[in-house]
Structure formats: C-alpha cells, structure tokens
Amino acid sequence: MEKSALFISGGNIDVEFAASYIRKHPVDYVIAVDKGLEFCDRYEIHPDIIVGDFDSLPSGFLEKYEQDPSVRIKRLIPEKDDSDTESAMHTAFELQVKTIFILGGTGSRLDHMQANLQLLGYAYARGVRIYLVDAHNCASIADRSMVLKASEQFGRFVSFFACSDVVEGLTLRGFKYPLREYRLTNLSCGLTLSNEIAEETAEVTYTAGLLMMIQTRD
C-alpha cells in the first residue's frame, strides 16, 4: 500500500478547514515544517517528524519534542540551498511516500508560495503527488489523462498553468470553456483561468509537458 504524508508548514492555516481536511485524509506520517510545529502544538497534532532551521520558533519550544523518542527531528542550518518544505519533501522521499498533502504552504510570502508551487512538478517527476491546499485552493499536477467529477471537485473554478515550458495538445472536455489540442506555454495568462466543470464529469488530457491544476473557491 502506498504511503502518504501530511506537511504542516508555517503559513496561513484556517483551523476549521484544516481539522476537516485532516479527518478526510488520514496519512502515515505527519511532518511539522519549522513554524508549523506551533500549529501542531496548539491543536495537539502529534508530529512524527519535525524539519526546519527553527529560526522562527520561540526559544526552548523544541525541548519537549527533543525528549520524545517517538519524534524524529531534522535540524537544518539557516544558510541552506533549499527551503524547509523542500527539505521535508526529501525526507518524505526517503520514507518512500507517494502522496503529500501540504497545509500552511500558502500565506503572505509570495516567494515561499511560489517555491512551494514549484515543488509540485519536482515531486511529480519523481513519482510523488503533492496537493498544496488551503481553505480556498487546491493545487496539484494533472495527469496526462484524468477525469474530474463535479460531485467531488474542491471548488467552483478550475484553472490550468504550464508547469513546463510548453504543454502540448491540451484538451478539455465537459468544461464550460472547452479546448482542443491547445498548445499552452508558461507565458500564457488568462485563457485557462477560472474554467468550470459543466457536466457530471470533465476530462483533461494532454500529450507532453507538465500541467498544473488549481481548483479554487471564493
């Protein structure tokens, strides 16, 4: 059976949404990423692994976790070549995790959010699927052929972006705004923004490249 992990990072987290999402998505590992440990501590979520440079945590905050033998702590130095979330992702790779859910990966820092979005393609190319979620958004990489059910969609809107230089042959069926064999580039702007599922199911296919799908609600 494929393993899964939940990352709790230090961005914005809607408590009610997070509680519901965690209940619906049981995982094998909970990984607290740096400041996300504060959220875990406040809401009594037990992390299996803690990853970070911990420069944003209060002094002494880690002490009780250091004394817990069931918790693995991976300390990073602040001067590093990857983000705390990327380092946590590599830890998940070591555990042979195939699905990662990230809460707290969005927020006021656009640079951190962009770095997290880019992790989606990096992981997908290595056989690992990431869902970057908050109360209004769910970002993931779309398979080259996939079906979306209206009854199961995350939100009203579905947008698509090239995660590679070019996505070839993009075809959208069952959407309000269909497409047929469209060549989507990473310089494209609004054509594939804010589409909607118009039938019970919608189909997404493409022939080459890497396609990011963001499901959203207001």
Residue 194, φ and ψ in degrees, nearest 5: 55, 50
For residues 48-65, give the mean pLDDT: 88
| pLDDT at residue 201, rounded to an integer | 97
Evaluate if residue 81 carries a pLDDT over 70.
Answer: no
Which residue in the block uniquely carries the two structure tokens 């993931």?
140
| Residue 196, amino acid | E
186: which 2 tokens?
């990473």
For residues 100-125, give the mean pLDDT: 95
143: which 2 tokens?
């398979």
| pLDDT at residue 59, rounded to an integer | 81
Domains annotated on the chain, with CATH: 3-135 (3.40.50.10240), 142-216 (3.40.50.10240)
Residue 133, φ and ψ in degrees, nearest 5: -130, 150
Evaluate if residue 55 carries a pLDDT over 90.
Answer: no
For residues 56-75, give the mean pLDDT: 90
| pLDDT at residue 78, rounded to an integer | 74
For residues 185-214, give the mean pLDDT: 96
204: which 2 tokens?
């997404």
Averaged confidence pLDDT in the chain: 94
For residues 137-148, give the mean pLDDT: 97
Evaluate if residue 29 carries a pLDDT over 90.
Answer: yes
Mapped onto helix, strand or coil, the DSSP state of residue 82 is coil
